[in-house]
Structure 1
Amino acid sequence: MDHRLFDAARSGDMTTLQLLLQEDPLLLERFSMSSLENPLHVSAFSGQVVFTEEILRRKQDLALEPNQQGFTPLHIASASGTIEVVRALLRVGPNHVLCRLKDKDGSIPLHCAVQRGRIEVVKELVSSFPESLKEVNASFETPLHVAVKNNQVEATKLLLEEIKKRDMSPEILNMENREGNTILHLATLGKQLQASFFFFFTLIYIPL
């Protein structure tokens, strides 16, 4: 594929994008037949909102395509933390479709956002598809498992609040990962002291 398209996606160069599409109107179509990285992966990583929106306008099914690592553009945007790109991607079709797509490790975009502590993205993803709170990766870890394991204190707090608000507490708090650890086990066994402290504080003072 033309490297100029990927350079344009990285920099948000709309002029080059328009020129390339004039030269080859079917340029974006060919990415649908490939398992390689497409321009949306690159613009999502680089936080190029306008470029992302234009690609989606012309070929929105590219949002469903994984790259070699199994990451969709929403996985990448969720990890990178550019909330405007996340919102642009979520406007493509039913939210539950994009929010439930898994990478090669079985992680959904919410796992990626939680691991990096992207709080605004976590809020957006949960609001778009609350059932994602119960999704597990290949290690049977929910997003809350991932938050505690990575000592993401604010993400842990937010997820607990969302779980409580949506009456999912008993189910999610009792879910076990591949090693048989619930959130409570993970909080006590690990070295994630801040997240563990908040977790116990919540259990004691905020009935779940």
Structure 2
Amino acid sequence: MDPKLFKAAMTGDLHFLESLNEDDNSNFLCQVTPKKNTVLHVAAEFHQSEFVQAVTHRCPLLFQSGNSNGDTPLHVAAKVGCCEIVGYFISHAQTLQVDVESGHVDESHKKKELLRIVNVDKDTALHCATRNGHYNRDFRDIAELILNASPSSSSHVGPNGITALHAAVYSESQRVLLGHFFFKGSKEAFLQPKVSTEKEFMEILLEKKPNIIRERDNLGWTALHYAADNDGESALHIAAYYGEINSIKEMIKSCPDICDLTNHKGQTALHLAILGGHENVVKYILKTPGLKCLINEPDKDGNTPLHMSIIFKDYRIMHMLARDERVDIKATNKET
């Protein structure tokens, strides 16, 4: 790509565009970088919205071009959180009589799925926005724009069978997907109180759409498997810590293997139930055949659930565990 053109795209230099002759549009503006980025990719990367609009006006179909990674300028705008550019591309597609979902362009008889175009990683623009969200309002707005323009985008299966919901849960962009799945994408969804904790998120997830937690990716994982906080605690850990026995039962019913998940300390849901002091959860785990693997499972310090009950002086739980013949009362931790 011509250095002057690259710099103009990076800085949003509209005067440079105005200095070009009309004959320069088709060839000069369609130059690419070694990674096949067009001038629109570069401008989107640096949030140069006016420059993007000016170039697109001159080269109307350039916004559909993919780079060597398969990313369109829309992917780039979604990744960097530039809501204005994402909104412009969607509006521009509609102006060109492009069906936003099918990408059909009447004039050229081409079919491109604008909002469902995937890169080499099988990510759509919605995947990019939700994965990079982290409670950033710009990314939530981008997801809202895409979902409103193409409601079916949320069901697109990305890499390893991961949908946008999986990506959102994994990256903590829950609020947008909650709005789409549970409130039909209405604006009211985005006026709901912020879902600030994983516990709140999983409660709403289980209440509003229990079947969604049964949708699995290629690894057999559901959104529940991906829902972990900064300490690596899964939805099951959180429910166990707070004593949410009904939620635990529903999770185990839907995802029996979720019990294998441990947090960053190597602790299981049984460890967390003891930390939370919930005898009812401990009793349920002991009575559930499919959870017997948790009974003597040590954490990274070698502490079994029995050790944990002793360390935190929860004598009721300690006696409950000690009376169970399956509990290894001779187990040692790394301190002994």
User: What TM-score do the two structures reach when normalised by structure 1?
Assistant: 0.61
Report the equivalent of 2:311: 189
Cα distance in 1, alignment partners of residues 201 and 316 from structure 2: 23
Report the equivalent of 2:165: 63
Deviation at 1:38, TM superposition (A): 8.4
Deviation at 1:126, TM superposition (A): 0.8
Unpaired segments of 5 or more residues in structure 1? 1-22, 43-55
Matched, 1:159 2:257: no
Report the equivalent of 2:221: 96
Give the one of 106, 125, 132 matched to 2:258.
132
Q: Deviations over 1:117-167 (max 9, x none)?
A: 1111100111112222222110100000110111012111112222xx12x
Deviation at 1:100, TM superposition (A): 2.0
Q: CA RMSD in A?
A: 3.7
Structure 1 residues 33 and 188, CA gap change in structure 2 (3 angstroms): closer
Give the greater-gyration-radius structure (CA).
2
Q: Which fold has the larger relative contact order, with Cα–Cα distance below 8 Å and residues 6 or more apart in sequence?
A: 1
Aligned residues: 164
Report the equivalent of 2:26: none
Give the one of 109, 113, 116 matched to 2:235.
109
Unpaired segments of 5 or more residues in structure 2? 1-90, 95-99, 101-114, 116-124, 141-150, 156-162, 179-197, 328-336
Matches within 5 A, 1:5-154: 29=126, 31-32=129-130, 34-37=132-135, 59-60=154-155, 61-66=163-168, 70-71=171-172, 73=174, 75-77=198-200, 80=203, 83-85=206-208, 87-93=210-216, 96-101=221-226, 102-154=228-280
User: What TM-score do the two structures reach when normalised by structure 2?
Assistant: 0.40
CA contact under 8 A between 2:241 and 2:274: conserved in structure 1? Answer: no
Deviation at 1:109, TM superposition (A): 1.2
Cα distance in 1, alignment partners of residues 286 and 321 from structure 2: 8
Report the equivalent of 2:43: none
Deviation at 1:98, TM superposition (A): 2.0
Deviation at 1:192, TM superposition (A): 2.6
- After TM superposition, the structure 1 stretch with the greater mean CA deviation from structure 2, 174-183 or 87-96, is 87-96
Deviation at 1:91, TM superposition (A): 4.0
Deviation at 1:176, TM superposition (A): 1.2
Cα distance in 2, alignment partners of residues 181 and 175 from structure 1: 8
Q: Hey, which of these two has a bigger chunk of helix by percent?
A: 1
Report the equivalent of 1:200: 322
